[in-house]
Structure 1
Amino acid sequence: MHRGSNASGEGWLLRYRWSPEGYEEPLPPEIAFLAAHGVTIPQLIKAKRYALLWGVTPSEALLALGFMDEEAFYRALAAETGIPLLPADIAVSPSAPYDLGIRAGIVALQPNRRHLAFAIAPRGSAVQELLLRGPKLARQGVALVSPRRLAERVMAASADRIAQRAANELPDEDPALSARDGATKAQVISLATAVGAASFMATLAPDTMQQVVIGVISLVFLAMITVRLACCLERVPIRQRRKPALAPDDEERGDEHLPVYTIIVPLFRETRVLRQIVGALQALDYPAAKLDIKLVLEEDDAPMRAAVRAMEMPNFIEVLIAPVGQPRTKPRALNVALPLARGEFVVVYDAEDVPDRDQLRLAVATFARMPRSVVCLQARLVIDNLKDGLLATLFAIEYMALFDVINPGLASYGLPLPLGGTSNHFRTQVLRDIKGWDAWNVTEDADLGVRLACRGYDVADLPSATLEEAPMQLGAWMRQRARWMKGWMQVCVTHSRMPLTTARALGGAGSLGVLTMAFGTVATALGYPLFAALAVIAMTRLVLNGGAVPVSSMADAGFAALALVVFAAGFVSMLLPPVIGIARRGPWRLMLYVPLLPFYYVLVSVASWRGLAGLVTSPFTWNKTEHGLSARRRSLQITGSSEDLSPRRPVRV
């Protein structure tokens, strides 16, 4: 073994005689010095080889493999270079851009007695350069700190600015695109005028007014029915038929072509599923050194913070603390993490999610094949606790209809998609350009889908599953669905402020898609009991009259025919997507529950009316859904232990 001892690290263990044949394998100085700090020679050699396989630096590979704790690595780096570690009593400057400072790994310090001007947290190639320039930097007032500690210090110093940006960056730049300010005066006046005019006309000519209302509503319903039935005609696979690849020589090149991928997981009162989500993230088939995973916790969520501290997190998982602020919503937490994302792509997962192991690889390969206008991929959300009662079963069928039939169909026609709240994969820069999520919309995914469409971007389907947990109790289900519908109403309010501008931005097909996706969803949910009752009454009258429709004029005949067409087509469009979804994903026994869906949609309507009441009384209240309650989730043996950090779990070898 040949070794050196200069402070720059040059010459340290450049070659090591390790095989019986006497073969000498060179070790890069970037990690070679760690042999004196507890890392074994076989671990250093393994880190070097994985660095070549993944296309990263040796230090990134070593940390990702878990051969050394991040804090220990930077202590060793400080000892090797002579650069002091950042003392706990020296504060970072709160005036510098916090996001750029954290991503670049350098921030200014407040004036101090030790004359330290900057704190640095080098990553990747910057570590090798630091080893070469260490002694010089040590004389220039530079202190060393780990990236994790740097983020903690900077976010604590800039808490107020971070909270303000996360909540208000979008509405401050363009208030018309945010739900923060509610309905405009023009919208309120227009609605009041329409209601007043309709009431006045109803007193003068009730039959005519009834026909006008039924005609307008029927047109909206027919548009929605047409879109749903058209989606049923598209044949889409449940899973990718072939192994995802970017080029024919991918297997020879290894994984160096893969970009850094950011994963954001907001966690609020989710101690039950913490180990499960950490284990699921570690199990992803993606180079660990190219994972940038951020768990976002709320500052005042003491049980969650204690649970995270009690776990030994891998080096590629970072914990961010969202400063206290309003509104207390999931999109605000996502906006805290977005500016710090290092990945070319970013995906959002919920606390209870278990995504397919190859989902990130498939997303990268899909983005590579798609035009640049495709900026988001929506994976399939699949309920895995459908045996936990009737409500969970019907919820699972509803998800099959949406994510295995409707969404893939909309994507194939180039229409806007109602994004799910999880497993959305984005091009990071585009998401930053449109200012992330609207923190004031409680169904932020639906709003984001419309905003992307208005900017001319496309969303594509990703045939990869993410397992989710359905609420099992009616109360929990009702609170969750009321929040969803309240958010859809916020979408309708937000994007009808300037209807002509929105229509021009969306185009004809896009306007039809948003009309059916947003306004159609709200209208059908709110009016479902009334329309169902009218349909039953009409059918009863038809039976009692021996199949003849009692009409007094041609207009009555036309409206009766329209009502029957809407009823029949609507019934088919309600049940056909679930049937196709079950046929595609299974199990077939779920077909027995399809006849219960009309009764299930009565509950959806009740939740919608509760959402409408909430829109008036508490528009930004987030009804929290608890996870980890199902028997299946409690039995999952995903521990997230440190033993799971071996390369066979996060990477393909």
Structure 2
Amino acid sequence: MVKADALLKVMARAWKLAPIDLDSTRVDFDLVRHWPGELYLEQNWVPVHDQSNGSVLVATARVPDAERASAIANVLESPVEFVAATSWDIRRTVLRGFRAEIDGDASTDRWRTNPSLSARVVLSKAQVTGGILGGLALLALAIAWPAALGAAVVTIAGAAYAGTTTFMLVLAVRGGTRRSAPPVAAQRQPDEVLPFYTVLVPVFRQAHAVPGMIASLSRLDYPVDRLEVLVLVEEEDRLTRDAIVRAEAPERFRIVSVPGGAPETRPRACNVGLFAARGEFLVVYGAEHEPAPDQLRRAIDTFAGGAADLVCVQASVDYSNAQRNTVTRLIALEQSAWAERVLPGIERSRLAVPAGGTSNHFRTTALIELGGWDPYNVSESVDLGIRASAVGYRVSPMDSITVERAAASVPALIRQRSRWLKGDLQTAFVHARQPVALIRRVGIARFLGTALLVVASPAVFLAVIPFYLLIAIALAVPGDVVATVVPAWALQAGIVLFVAGTIEMIVTAIGPVKQKVRGAATLCLLLPVYWILHSVAAYKALGQLFTRPHYWEKTDREPAPVLPATA
């Protein structure tokens, strides 16, 4: 690929213009901000400063023919003189000039335009009022009729647990009955017809992951002149920025500085990247992810084979360290059940497919139409999937794999799952604020199914520890003592429902899987213990929801070996 400085010299010579280095030239940003940044990005020019002869110096990355010169002069309402600049220099100048506006849009645009769909506030006033009244009612019932309340709580909780796990089992059965043809290679389209693609890679304090990131993304089988990789680096994160500079990444890798501010989350960084992106299609990867080399081409083929309402396709996840220890094997088993059975069942049931956090490929125009990501939601892609469904768009799985490394320790697992579950709770509370409006858009059946899907994980895992304690109490405490709080029939019914639901969860995890998990049958017997860890994560998530709702809990992963990159 031609180096940027060499390309600039060629452009300047061909257009008979002087080249300009916008980093070392005085740019009048007050002048720049007179017109929309989107205009400059779309048309590939930017005003530099006024000149003493009354004209405006304009940097352009396209040939300034008479038509273009006239159009730009009309916008600026002034004579213009041109200098040549690269597209990236122009975009970087626009990012610098509109830094405050971009930061504001990335952080608070959703809150300003539609606060009811923003997770910036955990609970609305109506939800707080309802919670207080409900709590007071429960307190009154506990004082007046403790045994009756205990019976109601245990049986309702058991029924809800069993009902939720039954729902997940039904989805798994529906997904598992789908005939799965062996994967075939995507038909290879000529390079010249492929659309421009943007890869967003949000990073934060991940200097150690930079060599692997550059190597894995350099292996993408996509024409380099139709691909850009925007590495989104927080302004304060000098170590990661310096590591990228030292690595001397290929020209298609560009650093985008994310302005310092709150919340310090991945979706906020991605919103900044969305402003800078110029691809017709866009994908988000993590710094430690290794997508299949042909994944971008497969995504294009999947979009081409789908209807116009298909706005996002997502690759499956495989774990390179799945056999590392019992924790990683359980994670791999769980992911296999989700990808091979539950997710296809969700799609077949026409529910809102919850997008994964990364390896999501979007039509960029649709993503912009949806308003990008909610920066305050720590499971931002789940929320985005519901918003897409609400306006008639679809999210669908695609036949491709992205490899990453699973959390390999109990503390790392709890940190990761607590963030996921906190995001599920945020999403549930956000979309419960205007349920009637959502029902009108998607219908009652899809609303109930999607609501149950979002609430399923936190609700089930919040119930695990209490029911385990209930079983222990039933075994250790005399029945007449327990009966003063929970009648025997209610206790037995609740435990039976819990055990039945637990068996259903185990059955959901069993079935044909693409990622062969060694000893899957034996691992299934460990799932009840594994769910205790999820229950701990769920209570941590519930606590953080009200104390640190927008805190982004990073997952610590073992570093992956760096494989050689290809040009």
Name the counterpart of 1:294. 230
Instruction: Identify which of 557, 562, 567 aligns with 1:636.
Output: 562
Instruction: Identify which of 86, 91, 96 aligns with 1:151.
Output: 91
Name the counterpart of 2:37. 98
Name the counterpart of 2:17. 83
Instruction: Identify which of 97, 101, 110 aligns with 2:49.
Output: 110
Name the counterpart of 1:243. 185
Given that residues 383 and 468 in structure 1 are in contact (C-alpha distance below 8 angstroms), is that contact kept between their aligned partners in structure 2? yes
TM-score, normalised with respect to structure 2: 0.89
How far apart are residue 97 of structure 1 and its match? 2.1
1:164 aligns with 2:94: no
SS in 2 for 1:310: helix
Given that residues 169 and 504 in structure 2 are in contact (C-alpha distance below 8 angstroms), is that contact kept between their aligned partners in structure 1? yes
Q: Superposed, which structure 2 residues align to 1:213-232 within 5 Å? A: 213-232=153-172
Given that residues 102 and 275 in structure 2 are in contact (C-alpha distance below 8 angstroms), is that contact kept between their aligned partners in structure 1? no
Cα gap change, 1:332/1:231 in structure 2, threshold over 3 Å: closer, same or farther? same
Q: Distance in 1 between matches of 2:514 and 2:100?
A: 49
| Cα distance per residue 1:304-342 (max 9 Å; x no partner) | 111111122323322211111211110000000112322
Cα gap change, 1:108/1:606 in structure 2, threshold over 3 Å: closer, same or farther? same
What is the letter of the counterpart of residue 191 of structure 1?
G
1:618 aligns with 2:548: yes
Q: Distance in 2 between matches of 1:237 and 1:276?
A: 36
What is the letter of the counterpart of residue 80 of structure 1?
A
Given that residues 90 and 112 in structure 1 are in contact (C-alpha distance below 8 angstroms), is that contact kept between their aligned partners in structure 2? no
Q: Superposed, which structure 2 residues align to 1:4-403 within 5 Å? A: 66=1, 68-86=2-20, 88-91=24-27, 92=29, 93-113=32-52, 117-122=56-61, 126-127=62-63, 140-233=80-173, 234-235=175-176, 236=178, 241-245=183-187, 254-403=190-339
Q: Distance in 1 between matches of 2:230 and 2:252?
A: 9
| Cα distance per residue 1:122-162 (max 9 Å; x no partner) | 3xxx45x769999xx99941121112222222211221111
Cα gap change, 1:115/1:76 in structure 2, threshold over 3 Å: closer, same or farther? farther
Aligned-residue Cα RMSD (Å) equals 3.0
How far apart are residue 388 of structure 1 and its match? 2.8
Name the counterpart of 1:575. 506
Q: Distance in 1 between matches of 2:217 and 2:190?
A: 21
Name the counterpart of 1:16. none
Given that residues 330 and 527 in structure 2 are in contact (C-alpha distance below 8 angstroms), is that contact kept between their aligned partners in structure 1? yes
Name the counterpart of 1:466. 402
Q: Distance in 1 between matches of 2:392 and 2:148?
A: 40
Given that residues 428 and 451 in structure 2 are in contact (C-alpha distance below 8 angstroms), is that contact kept between their aligned partners in structure 1? no
| Cα distance per residue 1:197-252 (max 9 Å; x no partner) | 1221122223332343344434533442233112222235778633324xxxxx6x
Given that residues 259 and 343 in structure 1 are in contact (C-alpha distance below 8 angstroms), is that contact kept between their aligned partners in structure 2? yes
How many residues align structurally? 549
TM-score, normalised with respect to structure 1: 0.77
Cα gap change, 1:383/1:95 in structure 2, threshold over 3 Å: closer, same or farther? farther
Name the counterpart of 1:475. 411
Structure 1 stretches of 5 or more lacking a match? 1-65, 246-250, 646-653
% same residue: 29
What is the letter of the counterpart of residue 617 of structure 1?
T
Given that residues 350 and 422 in structure 1 are in contact (C-alpha distance below 8 angstroms), is that contact kept between their aligned partners in structure 2? yes
SS in 1 for 2:132: helix
Cα gap change, 1:560/1:458 in structure 2, threshold over 3 Å: closer, same or farther? farther
1:586 aligns with 2:516: yes
Q: Distance in 1 between matches of 2:459 and 2:98?
A: 43
SS in 1 for 2:228: strand
Cα gap change, 1:384/1:578 in structure 2, threshold over 3 Å: closer, same or farther? farther
Structure exhibiting the larger radius of gyration computed from Cα positions: 1
Given that residues 198 and 230 in structure 2 are in contact (C-alpha distance below 8 angstroms), is that contact kept between their aligned partners in structure 1? yes
Instruction: Identify which of 579, 588, 597 aligns with 2:527.
Output: 597
How far apart are residue 113 of structure 1 and its match? 4.5
Instruction: Identify which of 424, 429, 439 aligns with 1:493.
Output: 429
Q: Distance in 1 between matches of 2:124 and 2:46?
A: 42
Structure with the bigger RCO (C-alpha within 8 Å, sep 6+) is: 2
Q: Distance in 1 between matches of 2:435 and 2:193?
A: 44
